[in-house]
Amino acid sequence: MGPIIAFLEKYFVPVAGRIGSQRHLVAIRDGFVAIMPLIMVGAMAVLLNSFPIEFYQKAMVSIFGEGWKSFGVNLWNGTFAIMALLVTFSTSYNLAKSYQADGLAAGLVSFGSLLMLYTASEKDWALPFGFLGAQGLFVALFVALVATEVFVRLAGNPKLIIKMPDGVPPAVAKSFASLIPSVIVLTLFCLIKVLTVTVGIPNIHDAIFKAIQAPIAGLADHIGSAMLVAFLVHILWFFGLHGTNILGPLLNAVYLPAINDNVAAFQAGLPVPHIVTMPFFDAFVWMGGAGCTIGLVAAIFIAGKRKSNRNIAQLSAGPVAFNINEPMMFGMPIVLNPIYLIPFVLTPIILTITTYVAISSGIVPRTVAMVPWTTPPVIGGFLVTGSIMGALLSLINLAIAVVLYIPFVILGERHEAKAEQQTVQSVGANIRG
């Protein structure tokens, strides 16, 4: 382990450090961290509604009636479902504050700019819930960064500042100071919306959504396409985009028919045809959620020493056990954290390979059942294959994930400690100066 850590510290950490300190990436990271409490509530709401125990589901219906899930749905609507809106404001606020500018004004302007880009329904002028959440993050982050950059530069121009006379309340004076920059930024995004409609793109969010899906069109039942899926899902996740949801419609179109064929063949006593199916990923690759983050939680418990990281792992352990990993994704965070880029993307690719080899060689039976996506790891491996070998493969893949994450947990904590030490020394030097 020592040589690996030494190699990473020498060649990887300096590059990761420079990337991790980049102003815009820091703003996005801090923007996600700011909405962490809401993400935790949303994760618990999903678990409440989707807990994969039949007795629990029946008991809740018998106690509260058929509409009992509305409680969790309402919590989800105010958290996960509007993640794009929340992170637009929080990212813009943090970016503006990094320039010593008015973070509140920048956040509000970015929020308004984003709303103008949505395509409302013709019937009741409702915003599309599908793009208010994770599927709308790409546009949301773009708007937050661009709108804030423009706003900050305009607000720094004295000719565009309306100065109020002495005696005017500070809040009012501050509001008028940002009036002209706000008008210009909002007008800019209004023009963007008008131009996109003019050139035949009435729905910006839908156009980008389809453009991201396009690279994996034509996926088939072989190891190359499975590895491509693993890579694309996780590289999207690393940048804060819900890769599983973004690629979900296409993956379902390709891999759900495959599992249906397997189930039909198994029931008919025929050879099971397909290796790569949706349960292939759910039960053996995405254990604990994208990136096999249950392995990261275990690695922190094994090798982590920082109290903050262990606290996050403890809070996330429950949801992660049921494949809900947003608390880890945005709490550590993994999103836009260059230290975790390699294990987060590499681990699912390696697990895809081990799973494919194990199934294609006949060591593990092919998947012949669908289970709820919240089914805990190992249990899911047994259920989708109907074999103890499926559970064993899940355990082996989990062990691989833990081993891959441990060096980066150690590395990340050392990097955090050095960064804190440098901050303390810098503050001390400023005080002495």
For residue 427, pLDDT over 70 is answered with: no
- Which of 162-171, 224-233, 393-402 tops mean pLDDT? 393-402
Dihedral of CA 205/206/209/210: which sign?
Answer: negative
The pLDDT tens digits of the residues spanning 156-182 come to 888 888 877 776 677 777 777 888 999
Contact (Cβ atoms closer than 8 angstroms) between residue 333 and residue 300:
no
Cis peptide before 333 (omega within 30 of 0): yes
Which residues, 6 or more positions from 170, have their beta carbon under 8 angstroms from its beta carbon?
none
Phi and psi, residue 313, nearest 5°? -65, -40
- Which of 19-23, 308-312, 329-333, 399-403 tops mean pLDDT? 399-403
Overall size of the chain counted in residues? 433
At residue 148, what is the residue type?
A: T
Tokens read off for 147: 């709108």
Buried residues in 374-407 as b, exposed as e (16+ CB within 10 A): bbbbbebbbbbbebebbbbbbebbbebbbebbbb
More confident residue, 5 or 295: 295
Task: Report how far apart, in Å, the C-alpha atoms of 421 and of each of 42, 289, 413, 417, 426 are.
Answer: 35, 33, 12, 6, 9
Mean local confidence (pLDDT), 84-101: 93
What does the pLDDT read at residue 10? 66
Mean local confidence (pLDDT), 107-124: 90
Residue by residue, DSSP assigns 354-372 as: HHHHHHHTTSSPPP-----
The pLDDT tens digits of the residues spanning 413-424 come to 887 787 777 766
Average pLDDT, the chain: 84
Mean local confidence (pLDDT), 229-243: 81
What does the pLDDT read at residue 217? 47
pLDDT band for position 277 (50/70/90)?
confident
What does the pLDDT read at residue 295? 93
Task: Report how far apart, in Å, the C-alpha atoms of 169 and of each of 88, 96, 105, 176, 381 are.
Answer: 28, 23, 16, 11, 64
For residue 402, pLDDT over 80 is answered with: yes
Phi and psi, residue 174, nearest 5°? -65, -35
Mean local confidence (pLDDT), 76-82: 85
Reference 141, options 222, 189, 58, 85; nearest CA is 85
- Range in 10-14, 88-92, 188-192, 386-390 with the lowest mean pLDDT: 10-14
The pLDDT tens digits of the residues spanning 50-62 come to 776 778 888 999 9
Alpha-carbon gap, residue 380 to 308, rounded angstroms: 31
Helix axes 137-155, 204-213, angle to 10 degrees: 120
What does the pLDDT read at residue 12? 58
Dihedral of CA 174/21/132/318: which sign?
Answer: negative
At residue 314, what is the residue type?
A: Q
Share of the chain above pLDDT 70, in %: 88
Which residues, 6 or more positions from 66, have their beta carbon under 8 angstroms from its beta carbon?
none
Place of tokens 């697990």: 351
For residue 239, pLDDT over 70 is answered with: yes
What does the pLDDT read at residue 253? 58
At residue 404, what is the residue type?
A: L
More confident residue, 239 or 352: 352
For residue 386, pLDDT over 80 is answered with: yes
